[in-house]
Amino acid sequence: MEEITAQELKQRLGRSDKLQLVDVREPQEFEICNLGGELIPLGELPRQSGRIRRDVPVVVICHHGFRSAQAINYLSQRLGYDNLLNLKGGIHAWATQIDPTMAVY
């Protein structure tokens, strides 16, 4: 599974690289802090996988990187996605390494 660090994601976003951000946390977690993108809770992936693009790199985000890894395993093994990147350390890594003003939980 390919990973992307918070610093690498910041660089790509700063260059306006074409990416899709998919957050697989629950809505109440997304409300606390998020990077934008699509909110598709892990349990809804089977029903909402059609919202995930195949034509650009997709960064999958959760709290610490575990649920996003599960999502990537499902999407790649069951549905053949090959363009997925796991945000290493999740949104927590972004908050602690990139944006100290972001809420943590």
Q: How many residues does the chain have?
A: 105
* Catalytic residue from among 62, 84, 91, 93: 62
| DSSP classification of residue 89 | T
Strands 3-4 and 20-23: unpaired
CB 101 within 8 A of CB 77: no
Beta bridge partners of 21: 59
Active site residue 62: yes
Q: Which residues are catalytic?
A: 62
